Every structure is written in structure tokens, then in C-alpha cells.
């Protein structure tokens, strides 16, 4: 259907509501916000899903056009072109934040097969365009040989998309975030990075390994409540939160629904328990690393290792947390249950590392530097899947820590 002022108004209103209230936003909510009757809305869109389809289509078209423009001509300066493309991807993710959130993860109960297929479409063109620019940089000797450009292209592109998840665009100096993150991945943050062997044997890395080993023993020591949360974790991940019932969880735990209610108040309470346990485990790792007798740079490296293993070990929790964005989109610049405390500790660590001359992190403010660093010590789960934890850490060291550029 052709665009019209009323149709565009409905889409814009729906996008704002999806950004704040998630997929639970109804057609009535959208009609009320537009100041029209639901019946009038049906003359433009047959269903809520039709609105979502249109929002997603516009988002994906914008991404594709961004990619095509980036490689329309050979770049005079490949590094500058990489940063320009990264910035354009980030700006697109902010413009289409609702569609980004709606396509990040899609439980079967929410989307039809048609919409799920569209939502699952990976942003291949922007990753491909980034790969082309990285190839050009490598051909001119601007990148170190041995850097996996396929993985690196995906890492940069996805990192730029993630700018749209939170509300970083509301931060002071937020317009700098894409360029800062690109430069951190290209140039690294370490002034002189230690060898892998040295980092692997640091007290911080040893502390991380100790916590990771404890994570893997959790199921062996499961009690009744842990068995319930374990069953909920598996069902929420497999079915999606909205489609999972208390009966499903009880069956998976080998219990009757009535008996399960003796331990939990509601499905919402159960979800909170699952995600709180996950956050507590990650916090345990962060605390062990930050309290170790290591240099600041060794601690930053070990935090990467903790986060990589958190994604690998707590795969279901990570998936559930991602899915929750559909229902409760972030409205604050402080994402997650433990984000503010972790960000504060990371800010202190970066200050210590900078005073010691171990790192150079771009960004005008302490908060901005910490937020960009925090986002990059979490490596996307698809890269952890591709490479495995050990190789993912090596990749992170060769980019985020040491820098991929040859200078």
C-alpha cells in the first residue's frame, strides 16, 4: 500500500509505543494514541502484525540502502569509510529502534511464520559492506595480517546495531559513541598489550577460571527451588516467555502446578528469579576479577573472559534476557539488573588503567568511555558460537585489546 500522511502517522505512533511498551502494545493503544477509532485504523492496516511487518520492512530497507551507499565507490580512506559506515548503521538502529527490538528475538507465540522469517533475516548487506571496506584496508596494509575479517565485519556491524537497544542517544556526547566504538575495535585500547601467555596466567584470569568452574557445577548441586528455575529457564528459552505456562514449567520440573505455587508467586516472579540468578552469577565473576591482584589491563582482559563464558554457559538465560526486550524494552540508559554497579566499577578500573598508562580510551567524559568499553567487553553470542570461548577471547584480544590496525 502506498504511503500517506495518516499511514505514516500511525506507523510513527506505533513505533513509539513499541519502543516503550513492547509487543504487548495493542491496536487499541495505537488508535487511542493517534486519536482515532480502532475501526478507522483498520482502513490502513489489517492487523497489528501488518504494522510490525511495515516497520520491519522499512528498517531493513534503510539498512540495505546504507550498505549499498557505503560501497558504491572504492574508498579513498578505508579506515575512515569503516567509521562512517559504522556511524550510519548506528544512526539507522536509533531511527528504527522499535523494529530493531522487535526483530532481535522472536518467540513462536508472537510472530506468524511469515513475520518470523522476515524478523530472522540477518543484516547481511551491512556485514558484507563492512567486509568489503575491511578487505580494502587489509589490501593497503592498514590491518594486521591474520585478523579474521569475516568475524571482524560481523563484530563491528552488530556492535553498531546494538547502539539502538538502549537509549544511548539520550546521553551527553552520544553522537560520538559509534566512532568511539569503531576506533576501539580498530585501534585497541592497550598502549602495550601483554602476550597471551602472560594474560592467561594472570591472577585475574585465574580468578575468572575459578568462578567459571563453579558455574558449571551449579546443576550438580540443584535443590528443589533450583530445579524449578532450571525447568523454567529451559521452557522460557524453548517456547518463549508468553507461550510458557506454569503447567509447562511444573511438568518439566516433574511437579504438579499446585505444588509449584508453594515456591513461586507467579510466572513473572519465576522469570525474575531466572534472570536474577543469571545476574548474580555474572556479578560473582566480575567481583572475583576486580578483587584480584592484577594490573588494570589484566582485569579488563579477564572481564572479557568472564562475559564470553557467561554467554556460553548461561545460553538459555542469555536468550531469555534478549527475548524480554520484546515485552519490556529498555527505557533507561542503565540496562540490566546489575548494569549501574558494574559500570561504576568499570569506570574506576578505567581511571586506574589510564593513570598507569596502560590504556587509551577515546571519549570526552568518564561515563562515555566506560559505557563504550562495557559494550565491547561483551562479545555477541553468534561469535562465541562460531569460534568457541577460547578463540573468541583471542579474537577480542587481537581487536579490542591490541587493535586490528597495523600502526
Instruction: Provide DSSP, 52-112.
Output: HHHHHHHHHHHHHHHHHHHTSS--SSHHHHHHHHHHHHHHHHHHTHHHHHHHH---TTTS-
pLDDT, mean over the chain:
86
C-alpha torsion angle, residues 180, 391, 127, 165 (rounded to 10)? -50
pLDDT score for 78: 96
pLDDT score for 2: 59
Cell 576479577, located at residue: 289
Report the run of H or E that residue 177 belongs to, with start and end: helix 177-187
Residue 405 pairs with which residues in a beta bridge? Answer: 143
By the 8 A CB rule, do 26 and 48 touch? yes
Cell 527490538, located at residue: 101
In 3-state terms, what secondary structure has residue 4?
coil
Alpha carbon distance 64, 126 (integer Å): 7
Q: How many CA atoms lie within 13 A of 172 on its CB side?
A: 4
Integer Rg of the chain from CA: 22
Tell which residue, 31, 51, 152, has the closest CA to residue 99: 51
Tell which residue, 40, 112, 164, has the closest CA to residue 9: 40
pLDDT score for 10: 93
pLDDT score for 221: 44
pLDDT score for 38: 83
What lies within 8 Å, CB to CB, of 346 at 6+ separation is 303, 370, 373, 374
Alpha carbon distance 55, 175 (integer Å): 24
pLDDT score for 307: 94
Alpha carbon distance 299, 32 (integer Å): 51
Q: Determine what percent of the chain falls in helix, strand and coil, rounding each to the nearest 5.
A: 70, 0, 30
Task: Mark the ranges of the chain whose per-residue pLDDT is less than 50.
Answer: 107-108, 220-221, 334
Q: How far is CA 69 from CA 111, 159, 390, in A?
A: 31, 20, 36
Alpha carbon distance 164, 5 (integer Å): 26
DSSP structural state of residue 136: H
Length of the chain: 407
pLDDT score for 220: 47
pLDDT score for 272: 78
Q: How far is CA 396 from CA 194, 251, 375, in A?
A: 14, 41, 13
By the 8 A CB rule, do 95 and 60 touch? no
Q: CA 34: distance to chain centroid? A: 31
Residue 143 pairs with which residues in a beta bridge? Answer: 405
What lies within 8 Å, CB to CB, of 189 at 6+ separation is 300, 359, 360, 361, 373, 400, 401, 403
Alpha carbon distance 146, 292 (integer Å): 32
pLDDT score for 254: 81
By the 8 A CB rule, do 253 and 223 touch? no
Instruction: Estimate the crossing angle of helix 246-253 against helix 224-239, to 10 degrees.
Output: 120
pLDDT score for 336: 54
Question: Positive or negative CA dihedral for 298, 300, 306, 308?
Answer: negative
Q: Which domains does the chain have, with CATH numbers?
A: 5-187 (1.10.357.10), 198-365 (1.10.357.10)
Amino acid at each position: 500500500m502506498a504511503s500517506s500522511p495518516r499511514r505514516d502517522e500511525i506507523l510513527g505512533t506505533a513505533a513509539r509505543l513499541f519502543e516503550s511498551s513492547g509487543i504487548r502494545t495493542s491496536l487499541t493503544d495505537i488508535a487511542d494514541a493517534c486519536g482515532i477509532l480502532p475501526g478507522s485504523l483498520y482502513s490502513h492496516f489489517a492487523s497489528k502484525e501488518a504494522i510490525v511487518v511495515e516497520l520491519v520492512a522499512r528498517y531493513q530497507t534503510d539498512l540495505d540502502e546504507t550498505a549499498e551507499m557505503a560501497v558504491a565507490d572504492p574508498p579513498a580512506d578505508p579506515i575512515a569509510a569503516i567509521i562512517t559506515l559504522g556511524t550510519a548503521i548506528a544512526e539507522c538502529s536509533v531511527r528504527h529502534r522499535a523494529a530493531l527490538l522487535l526483530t532481535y528475538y522472536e518467540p513462536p507465540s508472537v510472530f506468524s511464520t511469515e513475520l518470523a522469517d522476515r524478523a530472522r533475516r540477518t543484516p547481511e548487506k551491512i556485514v558484507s559492506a563492512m567486509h568489503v571496506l575491511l578487505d580494502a584496508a587489509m589490501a593497503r596494509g592498514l590491518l594486521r595480517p591474520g585478523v579474521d575479517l569475516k568475524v571482524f565485519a560481523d563484530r563491528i556491524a552488530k556492535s553498531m546495531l546494538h547502539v539502538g537497544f538502549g537509549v544511548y542517544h539520550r546521553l551527553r556526547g552520544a553522537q560520538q559513541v559509534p566512532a568511539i566504538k569503531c576506533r576501539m575495535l580498530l585501534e585497541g585500547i592497550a598502549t602495550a598489550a601483554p602476550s597471551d601467555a602472560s594474560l592467561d596466567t594472570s591472577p585475574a584470569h585465574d580468578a575468572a577460571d575459578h568462578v567459571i568452574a563453579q558455574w558449571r557445577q551449579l546443576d550438580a548441586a540443584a535443590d528443589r527451588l533450583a530445579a524449578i528455575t532450571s525447568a523454567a529457564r529451559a521452557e522460557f528459552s524453548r517456547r518463549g516467555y508468553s507461550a510458557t505456562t506454569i503447567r509447562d514449567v511444573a511438568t518439566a520440573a516433574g511437579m504438579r502446578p499446585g505444588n509449584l505455587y508453594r515456591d513461586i508467586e507467579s510466572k513473572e516472579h519465576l522469570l525474575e528469579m531466572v534472570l536474577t540468578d543469571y545476574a548474580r552469577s555474572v556479578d560473582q565473576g566480575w567481583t572475583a576479577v576486580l578483587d584480584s591482584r592484577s594490573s588494570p589491563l589484566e582485569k579488563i582482559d579477564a572481564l572479557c573472559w568472564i562475559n564470553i563464558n557467561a554467554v556460553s554457559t548461561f545460553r538459555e538465560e542469555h536468550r531469555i534476557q534478549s527475548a524480554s526486550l520484546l515485552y519490556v524494552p529498555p527505557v533507561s540508559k542503565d540496562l540490566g539488573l546489575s548494569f549501574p554497579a558494574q559500570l561504576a566499577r568499570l569506570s574506576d578500573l578505567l581511571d586506574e588503567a589510564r593513570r598507569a598508562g596502560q590504556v587509551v580510551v577515546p571519549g570526552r567524559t568518564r561515563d562515555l568511555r566506560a559505557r563504550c568499553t562495557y559494550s565491547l567487553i561483551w562479545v555477541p553470542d553468534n561469535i562465541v558460537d562460531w569460534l568457541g570461548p577460547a578463540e573468541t577471547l583471542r579474537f577480542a584480544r587481537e581487536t579490542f585489546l591490541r587493535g586490528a590496525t597495523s600502526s
